[in-house]
């Protein structure tokens, strides 16, 4: 059985959403981020990203990690692409060309969007977005993101999904990164086709089920 190390409140949402889409059975091994604990090394502390038992699985101490019958993968985008291809079906690439495009969109999101988008997500988590300083920071981030979002806008002006005009693992990888900036509405107001695509994929029952569990986790 697929084993997923992590918690819903992390990048594990990517593989957990995919598992919901595919109806996969999996074992979730709860591993919390060390920064969320006052003393991650204290006696009785829950397993976390600094726990020796987890570092034995993933020396980088990052979540999620998966163990698929002995194959251990530590990078979430690699995990989703691997599981989708292994399971096959409409979420997987139909041919080498589609696989290349799915890789391209996943890497584009990771290299051109994620770092800046996370700044908006962090501002929300820290309760700063509604402050004057937080809004100024988000506006500056949105200016940087306007170029990659412009690429998305051009694509989604003529396509409903990232690859193959159907929902695929590429939409999960891309969407879960774009989501980090979702709280700053002006960015999405300026890119309505991208906003419509994100709403479209987040309306899927599997996303809603994953997100409901994430909210309950706290």
Q: Within this chain, do residues 154 and 78 fall inside the same structural domain, yes or no?
A: no
Containing domain of residue 10, as a range? Answer: 2-87
Cis peptide before 67 (omega within 30 of 0): no
Tens of pLDDT, residues 156-208: 999 999 999 999 999 999 999 999 999 999 999 999 999 999 999 999 999 99
Domain count, the chain: 2
The pLDDT of residue 143: 98
The pLDDT of residue 22: 98
Q: Within this chain, do residues 82 and 141 fall inside the same structural domain, yes or no?
A: no
**Which CATH number characterizes residue 7's domain?**
3.40.30.10
Residue 147 DSSP SS3 = helix
Q: Within this chain, do residues 174 and 125 fall inside the same structural domain, yes or no?
A: yes
Picking from 204, 188, 113, 180, the residue whose alpha carbon sits closest to that of residue 153 is 188
Structural domain includes residue 218: no
Segment-wise mean pLDDT, segments of 10 residues, the chain, 218 residues: 97 98 98 96 96 97 97 98 98 98 98 98 94 95 98 98 97 98 98 98 98 94
Q: How far is CA 47 from CA 40, 53, 137, 172, 178, in A?
A: 8, 8, 34, 27, 29
Arithmetic mean of pLDDT over the chain: 97
Q: Within this chain, do residues 63 and 130 fall inside the same structural domain, yes or no?
A: no
**Which CATH number characterizes residue 177's domain?**
1.20.1050.10
Q: Within this chain, do residues 145 and 176 fall inside the same structural domain, yes or no?
A: yes
The pLDDT of residue 92: 98
The pLDDT of residue 218: 76
The pLDDT of residue 170: 98
Q: Within this chain, do residues 13 and 79 fall inside the same structural domain, yes or no?
A: yes
């Amino acid at each position: 059985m697929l084993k997923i190390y992590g918690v819903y409140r992390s990048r594990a949402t990517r593989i957990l959403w995919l598992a919901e889409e595919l109806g996969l059975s999996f074992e979730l091994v709860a591993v919390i981020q060390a920064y969320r604990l006052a003393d991650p090394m204290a006696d009785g502390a829950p397993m976390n990203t600094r726990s020796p038992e987890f570092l034995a699985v993933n020396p980088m101490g990052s979540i999620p990690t998966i163990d698929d019958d002995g194959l251990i993968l530590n990078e979430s985008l690699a995990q989703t692409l691997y599981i989708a291809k292994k399971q096959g079906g409409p979420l997987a690439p139909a041919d080498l060309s589609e696989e290349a495009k799915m890789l391209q969109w996943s890497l584009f999101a990771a290299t051109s969007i994620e770092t800046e988008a996370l700044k908006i997500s962090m501002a929300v988590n820290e309760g700063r977005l509604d402050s004057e300083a937080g809004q100024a920071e988000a506006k500056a981030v949105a200016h940087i993101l306007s170029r990659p979002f412009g690429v998305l806008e051009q694509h989604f002006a003529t396509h409903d999904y990232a690859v193959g005009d159907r929902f695929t693992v590429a939409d999960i990888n891309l969407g879960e990164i774009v989501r980090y900036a979702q709280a700053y509405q002006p960015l999405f107001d300026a890119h309505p086709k991208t906003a419509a695509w994100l709403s479209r994929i987040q309306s899927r029952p599997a996303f809603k089920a994953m997100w409901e569990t994430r909210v309950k986790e706290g």
